[in-house]
């Protein structure tokens, strides 16, 4: 049973490297268009290559009796050449590393991509994943326009190929009218490869396919922030705020304040305590149908109102006063939400403000 350990190991390593090489070649052929799989695979292969080399360099001293047996291995072939580790020799056995380094760069996304919302997603996170602005994502998905928090797990979104407005061509529209409507350059529309694959730009004038999508690169739409009205009135003797706001929960930031998202999302597990950001009068406690789910509104009596959304539990009633830092509810994922978080808004004299920079104390860090 005793064999020369160096020879056996060398042969096995070489045979493995050979099979890996063949597999890479096959996969390169089969997955010419599947960049993510190939990228992932080549990353694994890089590790395999390093392990093989490390094994070869260090493992030759292993005694034959100690060598692990792999029962899936084919019988070693006798006529394989020796492993050549000379990096200057183009015929060396390090070529799998070379394949790793010359893997094709990530293909440019040219088409509209359909994306299914996963737990924990929000508009900012999805947009960043596809390298576009959050605005471009909400403009491509009409129902998000007045409420970017209106995401639910399993919902399908359209992701435009580039920043701008993804528009559905209506009867009578032309390149010029579309460009004017979204304040964009007609040439950018005509030069877009996605548009060229759908519409007939070779005719003069260009012919647009009605109801089909057209990408308006660099285009924009006005941002509409929804107004949700509540009819509560605050009594004269209600407790007033200090105007020094505190963070309402211990959490990480899963979505910052931006044009279409007039609040900050603070993520933590369901049940985490939510406290009043400042003293005030509880104007609303209950279910909000527009997507906020279980929601609390506190009027601070000085022009400021704070909103706490997606709660799993309430600890106060409408019509009572609260002190700054008092427990008012618990983090949840009610309403349109993809995971437990507190959507927190600060509205001063009717205008949404970014809590970062106004709320005192260390701003929670970004979720990892
Ligand atoms: Zn939010």
**DSSP codes, 65-130:** GGSPP-TTSPPPPTTPPPP---TT-TTSTTHHHHHHHTPPPPPPP-SPEEEE--TT--HHHHHHHT
- Contact between 21 and 98 (Cβ < 8 Å): no
Domain boundary among 169, 202, 217: 217
Distance of CA 64 from the midpoint of ligand 1 (Å)? 62
Assign residue 147 the CATH number of its domain: 3.10.350.10
Supply the pLDDT for residue 337: 87
260: its two tokens: 């279409």
Distance of CA 292 from the midpoint of ligand 1 (Å)? 9
Distance of CA 253 from the midpoint of ligand 1 (Å)? 10
Query: How far is Cα 354 from Cα 256, in angstroms, rounded to an integer?
Result: 9
Is residue 206, in this structure, part of any structural domain at all? yes
Supply the pLDDT for residue 100: 42
- Contact between 329 and 311 (Cβ < 8 Å): yes
Residue 124: give the domain boundaries: 113-217
Q: Are residues 118 and 213 in the same domain?
A: yes
Q: Are residues 281 and 323 in the same domain?
A: yes
Domain boundary among 73, 101, 129: 101
Q: Are residues 283 and 307 in the same domain?
A: yes
Query: How far is Cα 247 from Cα 168, in angstroms, rounded to an integer?
Result: 42
pLDDT tens digits along 148-193: 777 888 999 999 999 999 999 999 999 999 999 999 999 999 999 9
Characterise 301 by phi-psi region: left (phi > 0), alpha (psi -120 to 50), beta (else).
left
Assign residue 322 the CATH number of its domain: 2.70.70.10
Supply the pLDDT for residue 184: 95
Supply the pLDDT for residue 145: 77
Beta-bridged to residue 264, according to DSSP, are 344
Distance of CA 344 from the midpoint of ligand 1 (Å)? 7
Q: Domain total for the chain?
A: 3
Beta-bridged to residue 342, according to DSSP, are 266
Is residue 232, in this structure, part of any structural domain at all? no
Neighbours of ion ligand 1 (CB under 5 A): 149, 265, 343
Is residue 364, in this structure, part of any structural domain at all? no
| Dmax (CA) of the chain | 96
Mean pLDDT (10-residue bins), the chain, 368 residues? 52 53 50 47 52 45 38 42 57 46 58 90 88 90 76 90 94 95 95 94 93 95 67 80 96 92 95 97 92 94 95 94 96 92 95 94 91
Domain boundary among 190, 217, 244: 217
Is residue 117, in this structure, part of any structural domain at all? yes
Q: Are residues 58 and 12 in the same domain?
A: yes
Helix (H, G, I), strand (E, B) or coil at 261: strand
Is residue 158, in this structure, part of any structural domain at all? yes
Q: Are residues 92 and 129 in the same domain?
A: no
Is residue 229, in this structure, part of any structural domain at all? no
Query: How far is Cα 290 from Cα 176, in angstroms, rounded to an integer?
Result: 36
> In 3D, which of 175, 166, 144, 174 has the Cα closest to residue 217?
166
Supply the pLDDT for residue 52: 46
pTM: 0.57
Residue whose structure tokens are 């490297």: 17
Supply the pLDDT for residue 15: 55
Distance of CA 153 from the midpoint of ligand 1 (Å)? 15
């Amino acid at each position: 049973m005793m064999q020369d350990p160096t020879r056996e190991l060398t042969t096995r390593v070489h045979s493995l490297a050979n099979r890996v090489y063949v597999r890479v070649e096959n996969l390169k052929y089969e997955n010419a268009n599947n960049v993510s799989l190939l990228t992932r695979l080549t990353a694994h292969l890089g590790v395999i290559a390093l392990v093989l080399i490390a094994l070869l360099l260090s493992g030759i001293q292993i005694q034959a009796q100690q060598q692990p047996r792999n029962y899936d291995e084919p019988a070693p072939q006798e006529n394989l050449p020796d492993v050549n580790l000379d990096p200057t020799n183009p015929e060396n056995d390090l070529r799998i590393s070379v394949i790793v380094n010359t893997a094709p760069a990530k293909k440019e996304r040219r088409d509209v991509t359909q994306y299914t919302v996963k737990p924990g997603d929000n508009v900012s996170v999805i947009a960043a994943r596809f390298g576009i602005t959050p605005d471009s994502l909400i403009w491509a998905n009409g129902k998000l326009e007045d409420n970017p928090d209106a995401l639910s797990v399993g919902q399908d979104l359209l992701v435009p190929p580039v920043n701008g407005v993804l528009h559905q061509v209506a009867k009578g529209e032309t390149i010029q009218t579309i460009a004017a409507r979204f304040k964009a350059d007609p040439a950018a529309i005509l030069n877009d490869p996605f548009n060229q694959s759908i519409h007939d730009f070779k005719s003069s004038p260009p012919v647009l396919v009605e109801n089909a999508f057209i990408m308006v690169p660099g285009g924009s739409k006005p941002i509409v922030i929804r107004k949700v009205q509540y009819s509560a009135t605050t009594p004269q003797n209600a407790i007033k705020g200090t105007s020094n706001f505190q963070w309402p929960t211990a959490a990480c930031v899963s979505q910052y304040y931006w044009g279409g998202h007039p609040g900050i999302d603070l993520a933590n597990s369901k049940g985490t305590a939510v406290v009043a950001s400042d003293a005030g009068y509880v104007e609303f406690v209950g279910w909000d149908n527009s997507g906020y789910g279980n929601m609390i509104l506190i009027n601070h009596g000085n022009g400021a109102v704070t909103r706490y959304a997606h709660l799993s539990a309430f600890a106060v009633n409408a019509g009572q006063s609260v002190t700054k830092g008092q427990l008012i509810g618990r983090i949840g994922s009610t309403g349109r939400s993809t995971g437990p978080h507190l959507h927190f808004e600060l509205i001063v004299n009717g205008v949404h403000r970014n809590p970062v920079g106004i709320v005192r104390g260390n701003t929670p860090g970004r979720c990892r």
